[in-house]
Amino acid sequence: MTDIPTTLADRFGRAISLLFDVGDNVAGAFLRPSTNEKFGDYQLNVAMSLAKSLNQNPRQIAEQITQAADVDDLCEKMEIAGPGFINVTLKADAISQQLDHIASDDRLGVRSSEHPDTVVVDYSSPNVAKQMHVGHLRSTVIGDCICRVLNFAGHKVNRQNHIGDWGTQFGMLIEYLDGAEQADAQQIGDLEAVYREAKKHFDAAPDFAERARLRVVALQANDLETREIWQRIVDQSKSHFKATYSRLGVLLADTDIRGESFYNDRLPQLVELFGSAGLLVESHGAQCIFPEGFYDRDDKPLPLIIRKSDGGFPYAATDLAALWFRIQELHADRIVYLVDTRQKQHFEMVFTALRSHPQWVKADVRLEHVMFGTVLGPDRKPFKTREGGIVKLDKLLEEAEHRAAEVIDKKNPQLSVEERTEIAHAVGIGALKYADLSSDRIKDYVFDWQRMLALNGNTAPYLQNAYVRIRSIFRKAASQDGHVGAVVQISHPAERALGIKILQLPAVIESVADSLEPHRLCTYLYDLASLFHQFYEKCPVLGCNDESLQASRLVLCDIVARTLKRGLNLLGIEVVERM
């Protein structure tokens, strides 16, 4: 069953293409939920722009559209207003009918894409031998949400965790661990400390530094012993990542890890690829690609260096190799990179470089740098600990749960310790993730525990609380599943507003799947929860005398609860039964 806004847009589109010589897809772009309820439920803003191209009176065009459109089954009335707005009021019956359908639909009226893409999503990408920190939060949280939304929209998602498991720093790590019989399990357990110690040796002892450099060579040459130590370091880090992902509720698994080391063997081929295409230029001893349109300080062409003058391969080479692999072997239709805004130019250069050969990337393959801003502290500077250090992710998650537990305890002191712990996990982690997802990702955002944990405003706890209130109703209701057989009635403006909002979910999912902007889903869920609260105040459910109306309201509650649960799930956030 097609959702009402889509049906409406199709019907108007058909009418417009019959009346005028324009494409039939214009209506979809111009049909909007009304900005103000006195303008009806939806508004079609197409007449004014048609008037321009057709050189006709917009109100007359609007008149023709309303007469030609076959929408009587859906529309109560259509009014032409202002310069040529067509204000559409839906029939209550049509809304009810669609809600009845949604009541028994797991997907809440959202259809799976008719043209599924294979989408590679590159996100999180922490570094081996270092702890994950606040800098990894946004990539991980936003990337995971995007994967969930794309998957729900019907696309085939291929997660890629491009971890930093290769590079010269491994030379000193391996040498240090091998050097003084210190490679026992405990040492390796705290790789961060090992890293610091190794770095100290590297800087202070020239002979150690030299051996470390030799280790890099040995690692490259697949020396068995060196390789074995490296593998232990990587495995140790992987288990740390896994634990953090699990606590964060992120879907990334070991099988999604394909780190820099994976591409190591492919780098010479990559150089050859560009070389044989005549796209490689040697400059200052380095092998360079000069993508069109990029300039350095001196206004000279800016290179993408894929082989350094010392023979090493910098990250541009690895990124190109990964991109090539994803196109050639993962058969991606769309590749998205969750990396902060600072690397915008880098990705533009990488994409331009690969597209500079017309056969390498098909024109309809989408390469997207999904960029995001920085997490700021209260001083509007990058978020740091009080001491000015880097905020470790594990510490942050712990604090989120701890602070959530305090909030829960105040709100509902009767809860058992076990239950409170469980709820605090869902609420704390949810609040943290939601804060990250709910504002436009391209902007920096200010980190504020109090605000993100508030039960008021656009926060995860507010949405979770709306869900909890509905679940509470069902616990007290005679019937546990309100959606069996009941027909939705629109008897109150609050029910109508809620119903109209529910119909908009498919459009929201589509828009997030296209724009990769999770905050649109957050805004939608917040609007939905607010409308639910208004409904909750004005429309008693269990206290309603009319039996069929009560059943109807239970259905509405059930739909809202499932929409909140699904929506939060797409954001990577759990719901709880009480809080």
Partner RNA sequence: GCCCUCGUAGCUCAGCUGGAUAGAGCGGCGGUCUUCUAAACCGCAGGUCACAGGUUCGAAUCCUGUCGGGGGUACCA
Residues 245-264 binding RNA (CB under 7 A) are 260
Report the 3 state secondary structure along 141-207. HHHHHHHHHHHHCCCEEEEEECCECCCCHHHHHHHHHHHCCCCCHHHHHCHHHHHHHHHHHHHHCHH
574: its two tokens: 């759990």
Compose the 215-234 pattern: x for residues touching RNA by CB under 7 A, - for all others.
--------------------
Among 9, 26, 39, 226, binds RNA (CB under 7 A): 39
Piece in contact with RNA (CB under 7 A), picked from 97-105, 205-213, 222-230, 293-301: 293-301
Among 6, 7, 14, 48, contact with RNA (rule: CB under 7 A): 48
When asked if residue 359 is in the footprint of RNA (CB under 7 A), the reply is no
Q: Report the distance separating Cα 350 and Cα 68, nearest Å.
A: 50
Q: How far apart are CA 119 and CA 116, in angstroms?
A: 9
Site for RNA, residues 104 to 133, rule: CB under 7 A: none
End-to-end CA gap in the chain: 36
Q: Which of 124, 139, 438, 552 binds RNA (CB under 7 A)?
A: 438
Distance in angstroms (rounded) separating the CA atoms of residues 288 and 285: 9
Contact status: 235 vs RNA (CB under 7 A) = no
Site for RNA in 19-38 (CB under 7 A): 29, 32-36, 38
Q: Of 236 and 264, which has the nearer Cβ to RNA?
A: 264
Piece of 7-15, 144-152, 296-304, 355-363 that binds RNA (CB under 7 A):
296-304
Q: How far apart are CA 563 and CA 106, in angstroms?
A: 10
User: How far, in Å, CA of 100 to CA of 487, rounded?
Assistant: 6
* Stretch of residues binding RNA (CB under 7 A), selected from 145-153, 198-206, 308-316, 485-493: 308-316
Task: Tell which positions 62-101 bind RNA, by CB under 7 A.
Answer: 81-83, 85, 87
What element of type H or E holds 281?
Answer: strand 281-283
- When computed from its CA atoms, the radius of gyration of the chain, rounded to whole angstroms, is 28
Considering only residues 454, 491, 492, 569, which one is a binding residue for RNA as defined by CB under 7 A? 454
**Residue from 152, 230, 262, 445 binding RNA (CB under 7 A):** 445
CB 296, min distance to RNA, A: 4
Residue 530 interacts with RNA (CB under 7 A): yes or no: yes
x/- map, 150-189, RNA, by CB under 7 A: --------------x--x----------------------
Minimum separation from the CB atom of position 138 to RNA (A): 13
Q: Does 549 bind RNA (CB under 7 A)?
A: no
Residue 195: which residues within 8 A CB-CB, separation 6 or more?
Answer: 129, 130, 169, 173
Q: Which of residues 376-435 bind RNA (CB under 7 A)?
A: 376, 380, 407, 409-412
468 binds RNA (CB under 7 A): yes
Q: Which two tokens stand for residue 208?
A: 């150690």
The residues near 413 (Cβ < 8 Å, ≥ 6 apart) are: none
Tell which one of 111, 455, 491, 569 touches RNA (CB under 7 A): 455
One residue of 246, 309, 328, 480 binding RNA per CB under 7 A: 309
Q: What is the DSSP letter of 70?
A: -
What are 114's two structure tokens?
A: 């008719």
Q: How far apart are CA 464 and CA 431, in angstroms?
A: 10
Binding to RNA (CB under 7 A) within 324-343 occurs at: 341-343
- Which one of the spans 48-56, 131-139, 190-198, 357-365 is the region binding RNA (CB under 7 A)? 48-56
Closer residue to RNA (CB): 218 or 494: 494
> Which DSSP helix (H) or strand (E) runs through 262?
helix 260-264
* Nearest to RNA of 23, 189 (CB atom): 23
Based on CB atoms, which residue is closest to RNA, 161 or 439?
Answer: 439
Count residues near RNA (CB under 7 A): 101
Residue 465 lies near RNA (rule: CB under 7 A): yes
Q: Are 533 and 466 in contact (CB under 8 A)?
A: yes
What distance in Å separates the CA atoms of residue 347 and residue 177, rounded to the nearest whole number?
A: 35
Of 23, 189, 457, 485, the one binding RNA by CB under 7 A = 457
Beta bridge partners of 63: none
- Kindly state whether residue 534 participates in binding RNA, applying the rule CB under 7 A: yes
Cβ atoms of 298 and 247 closer than 8 Å: no
To RNA, the closest distance from the beta carbon of 495 in angstroms equals: 12
Q: Which two tokens stand for residue 334?
A: 């769309």
Tell me which residue has tokens 């074995």.
228
Q: Is 300 in the site for RNA (CB under 7 A)?
A: yes
Beta strands 156-160 and 281-283 are unpaired
Decide if 181 contacts 288 (C-beta within 8 A).
Answer: no
224, exposed or middle or buried, with CB in 10 Å at 0-12, 13-18, 19+? exposed
* Contact residue for RNA among 227, 266, 451, 492 (CB under 7 A): 451
Q: Which of 53, 57, 104, 283 binds RNA (CB under 7 A)?
A: 283
